[in-house]
Amino acid sequence: MFNIENVKNGEVVHQMSLLIKGSSQTFVIAHTNVTVSVSAESERSTGGGRKQEWPMSRGCFKALVILNPGKNDIIVSNLAVGLTTVGNRMSRLVKGQSAWDDNETDKSQISVNYLPLTQTPPLHLAILVASDSPERMDCPPCKAGGIADHATLEAAVKKLRMTAAMCQALLAEQMHAAGLGRRSFRLELEDRIDTLRFESMLDHRRSALYRSTIKVHVLRTDKTVAEIRRAEGTPNHNELLEIFTKALETEDGLFDPKGVVAGLILDTSYDAGIDITSGHTSFAKHDPSSRSVGVIGSQLVYTWPRFSEEVAYCLMDIVGNDFNVRTTNWASCAMSQGSFFEKIGHAFGIPLEAAFVKLGHWQDWPKRFLPVSPTKGEGLLTIGDATFHWEWSFEDQLRLLGQRHFALPLDEELDCRAPTVHVRGRAGLEQLAIRCRDGIAAAYIDGRILHDIESSKPLRQPVLSIMTLKHEFEQKEAARLKVLSMNGNHVDLPVWKVVSCQPPVNIPGTRMYLRRVNAGHPLTKNDSPWAAMLKKRDDQGQIVRAYKIDIRVDCRFRGVGIYYEDGIKADCGQPGGRDAPSQMTTLPKRGRISKVTVAYSEPTRFVGMQIHLSNGETIGALNESASKVTLAMKPGANEEIVGFYGMNGPDGQCCQFGILKAPKRFPLPPSLYENPELQGGSGCDYYPDHDRRGRVLEEQPGDVDEADASEDEDEDEDDEAEAEYCWDDEDDDGDGYYYEYDYEYDYDYDCDYE
């Protein structure tokens, strides 16, 4: 009895090629040349039910099945040891004989429904051909000529079509194994002879095999073979990329202007005498606003399979020759097919630095399609090795989820906003909260996972006590918090900078809070925190507003002075008189501060500041010639700036500056201004207490924000962000305030920035 392990009976799939794997206890100790036959029979198929032989090892098997639209009955049966070569089986087929012995002793069957998707954009396949091309690829003599000619343009089309089907099936299986659903890119189809099965080689079967199959475009360029082989590629300028993309543009209307194209350059050539490949390339470009491409050269394509019956043979072909950089055909096939798969991933937006074609990892490619490895030759692998290096990481697979190419019919619409990271909870019981509407898939600190989250049940807001973090993780300045979201929009933050920030401020009588955004370095015991609101209580208990503000900037930013209507002045930054020139402005009664821009040359050295008012006035200076980073801190669409906060370092200079944000048009209670943390400007000695243990990582209900309905008709053009106070309609857990660390303002200070 055969057991198919990765596909359920009656399952609906949306890709033409399906990679199945299974086992049989009957053949656990069987000789390694025992084979299993697999066929996919459907009512629409006349040739699709042909049995295909796949090797077994220790009772395990894998098979690549080409499906027809509708219901497909996948039948798995064992065969007696007998026909041992693909060539013999093909010879029998050509003669009209059965390639299989009929002494099957065991059989299993499941049904799979193939439902092609038409609403998602496809991956286009293309081959670039020079204007004077002989339309032949590099190929050793043993693979050239006759019905088995592997060097022609027609053969290149078949091989690209088959390899694309393999990549489609492999990605779908990887995504399925990661719990993300069996999803993959859709391939562009056309009605023509289906070459994915060996029957396409037989003339008497050709009319019956005219069906929907994978389309391959042949692009003609005005460049000659010599020009293509002289073209060079560098990280900043790739001539072959330009030639390929220009050829795509000349094919008017054939390709989506924002589509994804993968393909080959046909006229690549390897010169064994000087060991150089001319016209070779391996490049990818992802551009959401334009066309994305992933292309490789064709010098190793002769080792690729033309149809599904050749897959096992090509991945186990130990024949060696002088036409490639690898000594065996299977190694050349693994390296080049894997490189093509990699370029497809990069074209879909997986970062180039996420390359998985590392030294030796190409050897794992056959294990994705076969339970056995080549019996000899370079790259000998252990049969039972379950470790696969040749695959995209879980992080990279998540990047594909938010793309329209990988959508499934039952998918919910994604919010696609990046996760936010908060410090939340009552003073002394602070927690680090991670929040994402689409769900958190994983969170790590320096590669160590914080919580094992099932991708099928992602959390929307996991939390971790800050005391637990400090107890379990080394407090290194360079430690990074990486958060993976289910929409693929990941964040990478300096964890201790987030944790060491001052705690949030609850708005008394509400479950809301003042939000903070700052620039500078984290709080240390040697720094002096300060804060000042734009309103305060006077001596009679009345609320008075700030009517005037000045900024002191020379070669450095020295501080901000806030003047209140009761005659009191608060210093934000270095206190006391200053020789630095002061720029003064009057705050309009009905206006507001719309944005604060700071500039600094290092985390502790501010060199400039500007304050922007809603009436268009700007005061201050940035000293941009002396700065490395210029940052704009502004409220969200439903927020307004109500104060400033920051720190003075041991030298008295301002080393952190931030804004306090509150819900717009929400009257702040007078008791808020009695909070000692928000009074006194510079010199305030308030320090947060992080010394008490809270709860461990667990799911928490979302915060309820009560300012959702407020709309600002006077919102200025700088407020481009969405209303951040609109979130879930879930009950609050009582710890109704948090500080949101704004990771958009986090930079590596050793780099240059525009």
Residue 161: exposed, middle, or buried by beta-carbon count in 10 A (0-12, 13-18, 19+)? buried
CA 385 distance to own-chain centroid: 28
d(CA 66, CA 19): 9
Closest residue by Cα to residue 315 from 376, 374, 385: 374
Confidence at residue 718, expressed as pLDDT on a 0 to 100 scale: 38
pLDDT-wise least confident of 261-265, 297-301, 439-443, 688-692: 688-692
Residue 35: exposed, middle, or buried by beta-carbon count in 10 A (0-12, 13-18, 19+)? buried
Amino acid type, 680: G
Confidence at residue 677, expressed as pLDDT on a 0 to 100 scale: 75
Strands 11-13 and 107-114: parallel
On the question of pLDDT at 717 being above 60, the answer is no
pTM for this entry: 0.71
Q: CB-based contacts of 250: which residues, under 8 Å, 6+ apart? A: 219
Confidence at residue 732, expressed as pLDDT on a 0 to 100 scale: 34
Beta-strand runs (E) in 391-522 = 420-424, 431-435, 440-445, 448-449, 462-465, 480-485, 491-494, 505-506, 513-520
pLDDT-wise least confident of 19-28, 257-266, 715-724: 715-724
pLDDT band at residue 471 under the 50/70/90 scheme: confident
Confidence at residue 36, expressed as pLDDT on a 0 to 100 scale: 76
Confidence at residue 205, expressed as pLDDT on a 0 to 100 scale: 54
Confidence at residue 121, expressed as pLDDT on a 0 to 100 scale: 93
pLDDT band at residue 452 under the 50/70/90 scheme: low
Closest residue by Cα to residue 113 from 68, 60, 55: 68
Q: Are 174 and 350 in contact (CB under 8 A)?
A: no
Give 120-164 pLDDT, tens digit per residue.
Answer: 999 999 999 999 999 988 888 777 766 677 889 999 999 999 999
d(CA 405, CA 186): 7
CA-to-CA dists, residue 507 to 18, 267, 463, 504, 598, angstroms: 57, 69, 22, 10, 27
CA angle 680, 686, 689 (to 5 degrees): 160
Average pLDDT over residues 240-251: 86
Confidence at residue 723, expressed as pLDDT on a 0 to 100 scale: 25
Sheet containing 654-663, strands listed edge to edge, beginning at the edge strand earlier in sequence: 505-506, 513-520, 654-663, 639-648, 528-533
Helices 329-347 + 153-177 axis angle, to 10: 70
Q: Show the tokens assigned to 526.
A: 């040697």
Complete domains list, the chain, with CATH = 3-114 (2.60.40.10), 122-403 (no CATH), 420-495 (2.60.40), 505-687+716-745 (2.100.10.30)
Confidence at residue 425, expressed as pLDDT on a 0 to 100 scale: 63
On the question of pLDDT at 39 being above 70, the answer is yes
d(CA 528, CA 523): 9
- Of 93-107, 182-196, 340-354, the range with the highest mean pLDDT is 182-196
Q: What is the maximum alpha-carbon separation in the chain?
A: 107
On the question of pLDDT at 34 being above 60, the answer is yes
Indicate the SS3 state at residue 583. strand
Q: Show the tokens assigned to 429.
A: 């019981």
Average pLDDT over residues 578-595: 83
Give 374-421 pLDDT, tens digit per residue.
Answer: 554 444 343 344 444 557 888 889 989 888 899 998 888 887 878 877
d(CA 598, CA 645): 14
On the question of pLDDT at 304 being above 70, the answer is yes
On the question of pLDDT at 671 being above 70, the answer is yes
Instruction: Render 256-309 in DSSP notation, one character per residue.
Output: -TT-EEEEEETT-EEETTTTEEET--EEEE--TTS-EEEEEESTTGGGS-SSGG
Closest residue by Cα to residue 136 from 320, 267, 291: 267
Average pLDDT over residues 506-523: 76
Q: Are 293 and 245 in contact (CB under 8 A)?
A: yes
Indicate the SS3 state at residue 548. strand
Instruction: Render 37-79 in DSSP notation, one character per residue.
Output: EEEEE-TT-SSTT--EEEEEETTEEEEEEE--SEEEEEEEEEE
Q: Are 194 and 213 in contact (CB under 8 A)?
A: yes
Strands 605-613 and 618-621: antiparallel
Q: Are 564 and 679 in contact (CB under 8 A)?
A: no
On the question of pLDDT at 607 being above 50, the answer is yes
Quote the percentage of the chain above a pLDDT of 70.
Answer: 72
Residue listed under structure tokens 């998707």: 117
Amino acid type, 219: L
Closest residue by Cα to residue 738 from 751, 727, 754: 727
Q: Are 51 and 198 in contact (CB under 8 A)?
A: no
Give 726-751 pLDDT, tens digit per residue.
Answer: 223 233 333 323 334 443 333 322 22
Confidence at residue 441, expressed as pLDDT on a 0 to 100 scale: 87
